[in-house]
C-alpha cells in the first residue's frame, strides 16, 4: 500500500502570487514615497521608517512566540504596517513614540483580533489615531522643508502653498504623505500589477475634489495635501478592512471622500483622512452585506 499516489481535492494547480509577495510588492510601491521623504526632510525619516518596520516585525514575532502561534513575520504584513505608520508620522517624531505606535498597531489592533486578515480597522491608521490622542503635540509638529525650521501649522490649516509644491511634496507634513507625485508613482505600480483595483483611490480622490470645488474652495489643493493620496492608494486599499466587491469599494471610496471633506470643512482639523478611513473600515461589514453581487442565472422573484 505504500506505493499509493498522493491525492487531494481539485484544483491541482495554483497561481504563483502569494500573500507575502503582495505585501512586499506594496512595500516596494512605497519606495518613491520613502525617497521623497528623505529628499524633503532628510535621512532621519529613513531611520524612522526602518526602525518602525523592525519594531513592528519584532512585536509580531514576540506575540507569535508568547501566543504559541506560527511565526508570521515573513508574510510581510507587520513590516508593511510599520512602514505605513512611519510614513504617516511627522518627521520629528521621537523613536519611543513610534515604538508605542507599532506596539498598538501590531498587538492591539491586529493580533488581539486574530492576526492577519481578522483586524477590522487598518492597523497603521488606528495606531496613528491612538498616537494623535496620546501625544497631540508630537503628532502635529511639522517641519517645513523650505525653511528648515519647525512650524506648527499644516498647510491645510491655512498656510499658503502653491499647487505645484503640494503635488511634488515641498510642504510641511508627514514623512511620506507630502509628495502626491511619489505616492502616485507607487499607486500606478500597484494598479499595473493588479494588486489594487482603481475603484477606491479614484472614488476617494474625486469625491474630495468635487466636494471642495462645490464648496468654493481649491479642490486640487485639498486632494494634494494632508495625506489624501497616501490614504487613497495605500490605506483605504488595505484588503482586510475594505469591501470585496467593486460596488462596495466605490461606496467605500465615496464614503472616505465625504467623511474626509466634512471633517476638514467643519474645523480645518487636519486629521480628516485618518478618521474617515477608520470609520469606513468599521462600516465595511455593513457595506459587504448590502453589496452581494447578483449571481449568474439569478431568477427574479415576482
Look at residues 232, 163, 159, 155 and name the one whose alpha carbon lies nearest to residue 191.
Answer: 232
Task: Tell whether residue 2 is a contact of another protein (CB under 8 A).
Answer: no
CB of residue 295 to another protein, shortest distance in Å: 5
Shortest Å, Cβ 15 to another protein: 5
**Grid cell for residue 113:** 483580533
Q: Which is nearer to another protein, 116 or 258 (CB)?
A: 116
Closer to another protein by Cβ: residue 267 or 300: 300
Q: How many CB atoms lie under 10 A from the CB of residue 133?
A: 9
Min. distance of Cβ 111 from another protein in angstroms? 12
**209-248 footprint of another protein as x/- string (CB under 8 A):** ------------------------------xx-x-xx---
Q: Is there binding between residue 69 and another protein (CB under 8 A)?
A: no
In the complex, the smallest distance separating the C-beta of residue 117 from another protein, rounded to whole angstroms, is 4
Residue 152 near another protein by CB under 8 A:
no
Q: What sections of 88-144 are H helices per DSSP?
A: 95-103, 123-134, 136-139
> Cell numbers at residue 255, please?
464614503
Instruction: Please state whether the peptide bond connecting residue 11 to the residue before it is cis, i.e. omega within 30 degrees of 0.
Output: yes
CA distance 180 to 26: 16
Binding string to another protein for residues 170 to 209, with x set by CB under 8 A, is what?
A: ---------------------------x------------
Which x/- pattern, by CB under 8 A, does the window 99-128 give for another protein?
---------------xxxxx----------
Report residue 64: phi and psi, to 5°: -60, -40
Distance CA 49, CA 177 (A): 13
Among 10, 149, 158, 216, binds another protein (CB under 8 A): 10
Q: Which three cell numbers stand for residue 213?
A: 470645488
Crossing angle, helix 77-87 and helix 95-103, to 10 degrees?
Answer: 140
E runs forming strands in 147-244? 149-151
Residues 35, 59, 75, 270: which binds another protein (CB under 8 A)? 75
- Interacting residues with another protein (CB under 8 A): 4-15, 17-19, 21-22, 75, 77, 114-118, 197, 239-240, 242, 244-245, 292-299
Amino acid at each position: 500500500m505504500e506505493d499509493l499516489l498522493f491525492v487531494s481535492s481539485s484544483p491541482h494547480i495554483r497561481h504563483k502570487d502569494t500573500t507575502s509577495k503582495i505585501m512586499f510588492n506594496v512595500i516596494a510601491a512605497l519606495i518613491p514615497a520613502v525617497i521623497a521623504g528623505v529628499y524633503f526632510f532628510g535621512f532621519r525619516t529613513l531611520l524612522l521608517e526602518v526602525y518602525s518596520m523592525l519594531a513592528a516585525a519584532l512585536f509580531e514575532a514576540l506575540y507569535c512566540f508568547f501566543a504559541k502561534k506560527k511565526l508570521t513575520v515573513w508574510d510581510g504584513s507587520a513590516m508593511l504596517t510599520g512602514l505605513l505608520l512611519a510614513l504617516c508620522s511627522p518627521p520629528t517624531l521621537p523613536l519611543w513614540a513610534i515604538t508605542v505606535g507599532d506596539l498598538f498597531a501590531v498587538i492591539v489592533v491586529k493580533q488581539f483580533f486574530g492576526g492577519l486578515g481578522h483586524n477590522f480597522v487598518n492597523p497603521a491608521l488606528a495606531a496613528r489615531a491612538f498616537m494623535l490622542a496620546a501625544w497631540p503635540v508630537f503628532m502635529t509638529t511639522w517641519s517645513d522643508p523650505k525653511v528648515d525650521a519647525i512650524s506648527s501649522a499644516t498647510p491645510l490649516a491655512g498656510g499658503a502653498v502653491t499647487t505645484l509644491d503640494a503635488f511634488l511634496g515641498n510642504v510641511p507634513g508627514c514623512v511620506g504623505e507630502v509628495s502626491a507625485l511619489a505616492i502616485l508613482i507607487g499607486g500606478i505600480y500597484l494598479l499595473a500589477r493588479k494588486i489594487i483595483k482603481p475603484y477606491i483611490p479614484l472614488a476617494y480622490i474625486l469625491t474630495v475634489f468635487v466636494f471642495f470645488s462645490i464648496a468654493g474652495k481649491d479642490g486640487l489643493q485639498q486632494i494634494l495635501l494632508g495625506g489624501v493620496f497616501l490614504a487613497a492608494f495605500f490605506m483605504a486599499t488595505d484588503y482586510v478592512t475594505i469591501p470585496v466587491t467593486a460596488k462596495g469599494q466605490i461606496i467605500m471610496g465615496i464614503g472616505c471622500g465625504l467623511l474626509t471633506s466634512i471633517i476638514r470643512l467643519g474645523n480645518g482639523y487636519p486629521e480628516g483622512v485618518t478618521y474617515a478611513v477608520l470609520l469606513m473600515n468599521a462600516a465595511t461589514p455593513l457595506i459587504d452585506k448590502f453589496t452581494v453581487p447578483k449571481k449568474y442565472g439569478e431568477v427574479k422573484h415576482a
